[in-house]
Chains A and B, each alone.
Chain A
Amino acid sequence: MSDPTHLSLAAARDALVSKKLSAVELTQAHIKAMEAARVLNCYITETPELALQQAKKSDEKIAQGDHGPLEGLPLGIKDLYCTKGVRTTAASRILGQFTPTYESTVSANLLRDGAVMLGKLNLDEFAMGSSNETSAYGPVISPWRRQGDLAAKIVPGGSSGGSSAAVAARLCLGATATDTGGSIRQPAAFTGTVGIKPTYGRCSRWGIVAFASSLDQAGPITRNVQDAAIMLRSMAGHDPKDTTSVDASVPDYEKAIGLSVKGRKIGVPKEYRLDGMSPEISQFWEQGIAWLKSAGAEVVDISLPHTKYALATYYIIAPAEASSNLARYDGVRYGMREPARDISDMYEKTRAKGFGSEVRRRIMIGTYVLSAGYYDAYYVRAQKVRSLIKQDFDIAFASGVDAVLTPATPSTAFAQGEKGSNDPVEMYLNDVFTVTVNMAGLPAISVPGGCAANGLPLGLQLIGRPFEEETLFALANAIEQAAPKIDYPQTWWA
C-alpha cells in the first residue's frame, strides 16, 4: 500500500479490519511522519514506544476478531487531556513536569475503543489563544502556506493548533481538541480540516485541564466529516465523574453520513454580516448557501439580535471562570514552584513565572470582574446577556430552523506575529462567529469549503439544536460533497 498516512480514518479502519494493513505498519508510518515534521512543532511530547505497544496489541485483537471501533488507529491527543503516565503540560511552564496518575475520560474512551496514541499535541497555553502563539513550548506552524509567500509562517489557529496542523499535515489520522470559544472550529477552518464542538454535556470534561467550565467541550478534528463522526461516537458518553455530562445514549453518528438533507431548514443570521466583512468571505458564505440549496435544503433568513454582544460577554465569563479554575496552580500540590521567603510570596512568584502573559492577563481580568464592587456590573450582567444570546437561538430553533449556517472565521489564517501584538482585542475578534455557540451550549461543526485567493482554506460553520449532532454531520457532509476537494499541502517540511 502507498503511504498509509494519506488514508482517511475510515479507510484506515477498513484496511486494518480487512488485514490489508497492520496497525504496526500504520503506526510506524505515522511515527515517521511525526518525527520528520518537528519543524512544525505540532507535538509537545511524542510517545512512539507507547504507540507501537498499543498497535501491537491492536493487531492481536484484530487477528482474534475482537477489535474496537477505533482499533489500531493512530491519533494525536491535545496536551490538555490528562494521560496516565504521560506528561501533560497544557502548554504551560507551570505544568512542565506534570505527569498525571489518571486518564481523562474522553481519552480513556478512545483507548477503550482501540485507538493508538502517537503523542500530545501543542496548543495555546491553557487553551487561551486563537493562533497557538501563546504556547510555552513555541508556536505551531501550519503546513499551509500562502500562495506566492512561502516564507510567512502561517498559524494553524488556536487553541487546538497542534491538533489542526497535525491532522492537515497527516501526522495522525485524527486528533482530540477542545473548544471554549471556537478552539476546535477556528483551527479546523484555518487548516482545511473538519472540527466539531458537540453539545455542552455530550463529552465528559473529567481529566481535561479546565479553562472555563461552563463553556469547555471536547471534540475531534479530522480530515473529513465521516472521520469526525467516527471519533465523536467514541469520545462522547455519560460520565458520573462529570455532573454536567449528559446521561443519554450516543447515536452511531457515522450513519448520518450520506443522509439526505432535503427539506432541512437552514437559518442564515443577518447579524453575522459584519460591517467590513471581506467580499471574499461573504461570497464564500453565499456559495455555502447555494450548495445546501442544491442539496435540497430550504434557506431562510433569521435574526440573532444579541450576536454583537457575544464576544464581550465571552471576555468576561471565560476569564472569570479561568481565574477561579487556575487558582489551583499554587506551587503546592503539583506543577512548578518558585522558591520564596514565605508562602504568599511563593504563590505570587510561582504564578508570575509559571504562567505566560496571556494567561496572567486573563486571570487578572477575571479576578477584576469577580471582585467586590464590580461583580454585578460585569459578571452578573454578562450572565444575563448570555441568557439573551441563548434565547436568540431558542427562538430561531422554535421557528423550525434545523441548523444555522455561517462562516467559521472572519478571514483565512494569518501569519505569526501579525495579530494581537499591540491590542489583545484584535486577536479576540477571530472568534466572533464561533463564540455564540459556546455561550448557548450548542453543537457546531466547521467544514472546509475550498480555498481563498491566497491559497489558504476557508471553513463554513453549521450550528445545530442541542444533541442534534447527526443533523450537523449530514449537512456538513452535503457541503463536503459539493465543495471543491481540499488538497492538503505536500510535505515541504521534511
Chain B
Amino acid sequence: MSVDPAVVRRIAHLSRIAVEENEVMRLNNEINAILTFVESLSGVDVSGVEPIASVLPMEMKKRPDIVTDGGIVDDILSNAPAREDNFFVVPKVIE
C-alpha cells in the first residue's frame, strides 16, 4: 500500500496539521518509505493470533468512583494561551 498527494493532504487534515503545497511531495515520499519498510509485516502468519492487549498479565485496576481532586482552577488555567475569567478562550466556533 502507498499514499498519493491527495491521501497525504487528507491525513494532514485528519491530524489537524497544516501542510504547505510544497511539502506534500516530500511527505508523500517519506511516508511511502516508511510504509514500504513496514510492508514486511504482511508476510507474517498471524492466523489465530490475538492482538496484544497488555504486555503483563494485569487485571484492570478500579478505584472508587469518588472525587479525589479539584478546586484548582488557577492551576488548570495557568498555562492557557488565552483565558478570560475562569474560561479558555478560543476563536469563534459557531457562526
Q: Which residue numbers of A lie inside 8 Å of B, CB to CB?
A: 97-99, 101-102, 199-201, 214, 240, 243-244, 246, 306, 308-309, 311-313, 315-316, 323, 327, 330-337, 340-349, 351-352, 355, 360-361, 363-365, 367-368, 371, 374, 377-378, 380-388, 390, 423-425, 428, 439-441, 466
Contacts and interface: CB of A to CB of B under 8 A. Distances in A.
B28 to A, nearest CB: 11
Nearest to A316: B38
Contact of A383 (B39, B51, B75): B51
A363 B1 contact: no
B39 to A, nearest CB: 8
A98 B79 contact: yes
A386 B38 CA distance: 13
A343 B92 contact: yes
B51 A99 contact: no
Nearest to A240: B63
Given A101-B72, A348-B18, A308 B56 contact: no
A335 B81 CA distance: 7
A348 B13 CA distance: 8
A101 B75 contact: yes
Nearest to A342: B91
B15 to A, nearest CB: 4
Interface of B: 1, 3, 7-8, 11-19, 27, 30-31, 33-34, 37-42, 44, 46, 49-52, 54-56, 58, 60-61, 63, 72, 75-76, 78-82, 88, 90-93
Contacts of A381: 41-42, 44, 46
B18 A361 contact: no
Contact of B17 (A199, A240, A342, A364): A364
A368 B31 contact: yes
A466 B91 contact: no
Nearest to B72: A101
A133 B72 CA distance: 37
A390 B51 contact: no
A244 B76 CA distance: 25
Nearest to B13: A348
B79 A343 contact: no
A402 B21 CA distance: 54
Contacts of A439: 55
A364 B72 CA distance: 34
A274 B88 CA distance: 53
A368 B8 CA distance: 9
Contact of B82 (A315, A337, A341, A384): A337
Contact of B16 (A214, A330, A378): A330
A336 B17 contact: no
Given A313-B41, A367-B15, A378-B38, A340 B91 contact: yes
Contacts of B42: 377, 381
Most B C-beta atoms less than 10 A away, residue of A214, A336, A364, A439: A364
Contacts of A333: 76, 79-80, 88
Contact of B88 (A332, A344, A424): A332
- The main secondary structure of chain A at its interface with chain B is helix
Given A341-B91, A348-B16, A423-B33, 6 more contacts: A316-B41, A347-B16, A351-B17, A371-B11, A380-B51, A388-B46
A214 B55 contact: yes
Contacts of B52: 383-384, 386-387, 390
A150 B64 CA distance: 60
Contact of B79 (A214, A335, A364): A335
A240 B88 CA distance: 29
Contacts of B31: 361, 364-365, 368
Contact of A367 (B14, B41, B79): B14
B38 to A, nearest CB: 4
A246 B55 CA distance: 12
Contacts of B19: 352
Contacts of B51: 380, 383-384, 386-387
A384 B38 contact: no
Contacts of B60: 243
B68 to A, nearest CB: 9
A308 B40 contact: yes
Contacts of B38: 312-313, 315-316, 378, 382
Given A334-B79, A364-B27, A424 B58 contact: no
Contacts of A200: 55-56
Nearest to A438: B55
A315 B34 contact: yes
Contacts of B41: 309, 312-313, 316, 378, 381-382, 385
Contacts of A306: 44
Contacts of A441: 55-56
Nearest to A368: B11
Contacts of A311: 37
Contacts of B14: 367, 371
A103 to B, nearest CB: 12
A363 B18 contact: no
A468 to B, nearest CB: 13
B37 A315 contact: yes
A348 B17 contact: yes
Contacts of A344: 16
